[in-house]
Structure 1
Amino acid sequence: MLLEHLIPTRLRFRKLPPAAGGAGLRAYLGQHWQALLLHGVLLLAGVFSAALGLKGFLLPNGFIDGGVTGISLLISQLTGASLSLLIVLINIPFVVLGYYQLGRKFALKTLLTILTLAVALLLVSFPPLTQDKLLIAVFGGFFLGAGVGLAMRGGGVLDGTEILAVYLTRKLPASVGDIVLVINIIIFSAAAWLLSIETALYSILAYLAAAKTVDFILVGIEEYTGLTIISFHSPQIRRLITDQLRRGATVYECTQGFGTHGHQRLKVEAIFTVVTRLEVVGLTDEIHKIDPQAFVVMQSVSDMRGGLIKKRALH
């Protein structure tokens, strides 16, 4: 999962120009309330989708998930305790941790989202939609992952595990993904021992489906890709990017270090730009037309702010 999206996009208060007056203030407040409304809709949609994945697929068939939700499901199956109550109680320490690590607004959104999910699980009923275990694992994970992703888009989370992972990365020489992976290995190992190996395997499949769905919700098909282009025709390539594609480009000078003329230490310009994955093929084709020998390096970019880039539909 793209865990860096845990840190919510904050509404920044900008100084209004003197000429703006009351009209500028009203416009700013309108944007402020629009952003709050959008976040609220995303959080509610996330809660509904997660509740559907849990009550319509995973719960009736005894499957679990990773993270705090998985721990709650496992304890609920073993003890018969209320899942809604467990989700709230187990998440509270992580909400408190999120308050100190990521801010009051994030903690408040997360708490309200978790409480809404608990109420939805308690009061809303979803009929079991299928008896096929493979479909249950895949689509249960899909709807649960969609709920988690939509909640992240709204500035909160439905599971506190990622908050703990962000905190532990500052104490341990490990990444967020490594810590979440270790936590989930422990959870699924416990499920295999306490429930059954088959249940644990189907639960892992549900978790993988949820993780990929979260990535898709946060990144979408328009994943950002960074391109570094090294060519002796860099002026034409730069104009292609800025004038035709209407994207930003950074040009910096470097020295050729390898090749038939490497010993002459020829100067060459390198161009760095960021485009969406849908634009990569067209851009590289045009670069090839200008310089078939251009050296192009591509790397995935999880997220970015500012600059002349194509914006995703939701942020």
Structure 2
Amino acid sequence: MRSIGILFGSLIIVFAFNLFLIPHDVLSGGMSGISIILGMFTPLNTGFANFLLNFPLLVIGYLKLGRKFVINTILSVVIISIGLDIVPVQAIAGDSILSSIFGGALAGLGIGIVFRSSGSTGGFDIVGMLVARKRDFPIGTLLSGMNAVVIVISGFLLNWDSALYTLVSIFVTGKVVDAVYTNHEKLTLTIITEKGAEMRPHLLANLYRGLTIMDGVGGYSNTSKNILMVVISRYELTEVKNLIAEIDPSAFVNITETLEVMGLFHRGH
């Protein structure tokens, strides 16, 4: 299912670029936007430039975010890079403002789907994911801020009309990403399992959070169980559920919204 989500989200991004943004000289943000600029002003094609720029960030993501995340990200980057070369660049709408808004919304939808599938589209998404985990900011807002550099570059290299259209597109993309993916809230997970000894190191190795372990007894079965409690951001929920299922698919997991967190939210308790 995650691979299908990666494929579907990545294809949506390709169509957003080649059917709405690129035909009107409206750039995407981050590395994708920079690769579009390189494709316009250098012999490099856009897909190859996109992969080349993403490679060092993929290495950083592997070291900081884990192997599965990077594998899914590489899959997304490859699909987007190939798709940008295969799908013809052809304007669907003649109005630049409408194309900027709709293209930005489509790109945000695609990015959000990829995020929900435990991956990213590479580039600034990896940087945003790292910062959001450590500083607890909405990813869409972070991406919009980092993408300001693309707006400035497009203003000088193309024209300021394109730069302003790009600003509109990036703003819409960030809002849609947050709506689809992050809803920046905290969740408390109470995990009841008989495999606490295996679950603990698995979560700690793949999750940038601490957790608390308690002993319990099943009321019906009268067997010993482990109770693990962890507080996460909503954007981590899909990843954590997958991690739990890998160790104990039958674990009982209670997920509740958390109003406020005091003390150390990151790993350390």
Q: TM-score range by the shorter chain?
A: 0.5 to 0.7
Q: Does 1:129 align with 2:76?
A: no
CA offset digits 1:151-183 (Å, max 9, x no partner):
111111113213234556899x99686864553
Q: Does 1:217 align with 2:164?
A: no
Structure-1 residue corresponding to 2:168: 205
Structure-1 residue corresponding to 2:7: 44
Measure the CA separation in 2 of the matches of 1:209 and 1:180.
Answer: 11
Aligned pairs for 1:64-83 within 5 A: 64-83=27-46
Determine which of 185, 199, 204 is the counterpart of 2:148.
Answer: 185
Aligned pairs for 1:101-116 within 5 A: 101-116=64-79
Measure the CA separation in 2 of the matches of 1:214 and 1:168.
Answer: 16
- Preserved CA contact (<8 Å) 1:142 1:213: yes
Structure-1 residue corresponding to 2:254: 307
| Shift in alpha-carbon separation, 1:180–1:123, aligned structure 2, 3 A | closer
Measure the CA separation in 2 of the matches of 1:154 and 1:303.
Answer: 11
The one-letter amino acid of 2:254's match is: G
CA offset digits 1:214-253 (Å, max 9, x no partner):
1121157xx8689xxxxxxxxxxxxxxxxxxxxxxxxxxx
Measure the CA separation in 1 of the matches of 2:2 and 2:136.
Answer: 31
Q: Please tell me the root mean square deviation across aligned C-alpha atoms, in Å.
A: 3.0
**Sequence identity percentage:** 25
| Shift in alpha-carbon separation, 1:80–1:46, aligned structure 2, 3 A | same
Tell me the TM-score normalised to structure 2 length: 0.64
- How far the C-alpha of 1:84 sits from its partner, in A, is 0.5
Moved over 4 A (4+): 165-171, 173-182, 223-226, 301-306
Measure the CA separation in 1 of the matches of 2:75 and 2:176.
Answer: 23
Structure 2: which 5+ runs fail to align?
188-232, 238-252, 258-269
Structure-1 residue corresponding to 2:118: 155
Bigger Cα Rg: 1
The one-letter amino acid of 1:55's match is: N
- How far the C-alpha of 1:87 sits from its partner, in A, is 0.8
| Shift in alpha-carbon separation, 1:176–1:92, aligned structure 2, 3 A | farther
Determine which of 92, 106, 109 is the counterpart of 2:55.
Answer: 92
- Preserved CA contact (<8 Å) 2:10 2:110: yes
| Shift in alpha-carbon separation, 1:46–1:191, aligned structure 2, 3 A | same
- How many residues are paired up? 196
The one-letter amino acid of 1:63's match is: V
